[in-house]
Structure 1
């Protein structure tokens, strides 16, 4: 069984519609896919509608968190999407995302980059607005050659000339919210040094103490040492270890299934969840 527990669609900052994501997942030989758009479940209905035979969908989301200025991402699986406190936080984060994007566009304009809010909003196509949409607009404007070049101090990388911070959840509170909604929380790419997402071991231990289920070890942003270190830490903290593609469509080279999660971990995750169940095609 091939299981990928981290993917994105155009409901947030992926480039493909949810229906295309699930179809590609099956074409890539996956049996289970989690759709984990940033701070939203808006892509789930379309993914379910297009779900091909042989593919199981795990409803999920990637929550934006921050501690001490450090960005932290928490994957949430099989939670009740209507749980009031979690729903309210997602709404607050969505509003903060839009406000941040508008201010970022203003700063880029001041720096001579001819991008507009209308361009960025169009690229988001009604989904959650993120910096990747701004990066794509910068490419279209001719300011940079590829989206990755936007995430530097020159532009919208952390601390950059046009960087704008925004509201995000404290990670311990996010873990508690996901658990209260019957979901299962997993820390995403905690040692992704090349993009600045390095979560200290002591923070991971604190999250384990309040209900963290697992840590994502097998991720393309983790080198061999990081993967080994995460596995050892997970053993010490009795955390599950997952593997995922973190696919964003064209932005990441259509890499669904490049990393996978062991079936026994998936079985543990689904057994713990009480907020929702995996979905198979009803056609």
Structure 2
């Protein structure tokens, strides 16, 4: 059974609707797929309704976390799986981060406009299609206007990677971890060794998260070179954490296909047995 535990739809910054994503997952030969849009559960219902026979849906979200332990802060993402979406404190934090994303987009567009770049907030929101707005939607607007050739170019240092990059209000990562656990879910640290995007999480911080209830580490990820995958696996074993793998699929916003990396079935089974917030849904 092939299992991909990290995908995105139009509910955040993917280009496939939740319904299309489920059909594509089945066509790609997956047996289990997790929908993990950024800071939202908005795609859950549509994905479940469109689930093909034989495909299992794991409902989740990718939480925007930040460590505020002194000195420079560290941004990191938590993949939260099978939590109760009705858990009030967690839902409130996710809503706060989504509002912060909207404010960041407005400020970024204002910076672009000040430099004579004619991009509008309604235009960017149209690419979000009602989902959580993010920088990839602004990147699409820049591509459409011919200012850059690709989404990857839009994330270069002259654009969204540095010059027009603004921070948003993330969730304190230990608060996020606690809330997911309280909501009956399990948390996996997403792409902790992805130096290509500047997100390398110090091993000491991973150890602190493990002590606070982190469940696993996403070791096998497209942004992890072989040496970093091996490092993440070794660290997980040292900390007695579960090891996952996934594609971090975003549709045409990235070139990585569904199932590029996968999770061992025994790890998925342990996840499903551990979580108490929601259960996987099997397509009938």
Work out the CA distance in 2 between the residues paired with 1:69 and 1:106. Answer: 25
After TM superposition, give the deviation of residue 156 of structure 1 in Å: 1.5
After TM superposition, give the deviation of residue 254 of structure 1 in Å: 5.6
After TM superposition, give the deviation of residue 262 of structure 1 in Å: 0.1
Per-residue CA distance 1:128-151 (angstroms, 9 max, x = gap): 000000011011111111111122
Task: List structure 1 segments (4+ residues) > 6 angstroms apart after TM superposition.
Answer: none
Equivalent residue of 1:163, what SS? coil
Unpaired runs of at least 5, structure 1: none
Work out the CA distance in 1 between the residues paired with 2:65 and 2:105. Answer: 17
Whether the 8 Å CA contact 1:243–1:259 is kept in 2: the answer is: yes
Whether the 8 Å CA contact 1:35–1:61 is kept in 2: the answer is: yes
Unpaired runs of at least 5, structure 2: none
Pairs within 5 Å for 1:1-283 = 1-67=1-67, 68-157=72-161, 160-253=162-255, 255-282=257-284
Per-residue CA distance 1:11-61 (angstroms, 9 max, x = gap): 000001000000000000000000000000000111011100010000000
- TM-score, normalising length: structure 1: 0.97
After TM superposition, give the deviation of residue 114 of structure 1 in Å: 1.6
Work out the CA distance in 2 between the residues paired with 1:111 and 1:189. Answer: 34
Moved more, 166-175 or 200-209: 166-175
Whether the 8 Å CA contact 1:113–1:141 is kept in 2: the answer is: no
Work out the CA distance in 2 between the residues paired with 1:46 and 1:213. Answer: 27
Moved more, 142-151 or 124-133: 142-151
What root-mean-square deviation, in Å, do the aligned CA atoms of Structure 1 and Structure 2 show?
A: 0.9
After TM superposition, give the deviation of residue 123 of structure 1 in Å: 0.2
Pair 1:69–1:108, CA change in 2 (3 A): farther
Work out the CA distance in 2 between the residues paired with 1:254 and 1:49. Answer: 26
Whether the 8 Å CA contact 2:76–2:201 is kept in 1: the answer is: yes
Work out the CA distance in 2 between the residues paired with 1:74 and 1:188. Answer: 6
Whether the 8 Å CA contact 2:222–2:256 is kept in 1: the answer is: no
- TM-score, normalising length: structure 2: 0.97
Whether the 8 Å CA contact 1:81–1:87 is kept in 2: the answer is: yes
Figure out how many residues of one structure are paired with residues of the other and give that number: 280
Whether the 8 Å CA contact 1:80–1:183 is kept in 2: the answer is: yes
Work out the CA distance in 2 between the residues paired with 1:279 and 1:259. Answer: 22
Whether the 8 Å CA contact 1:15–1:251 is kept in 2: the answer is: yes
Work out the CA distance in 1 between the residues paired with 2:116 and 2:198. Answer: 27
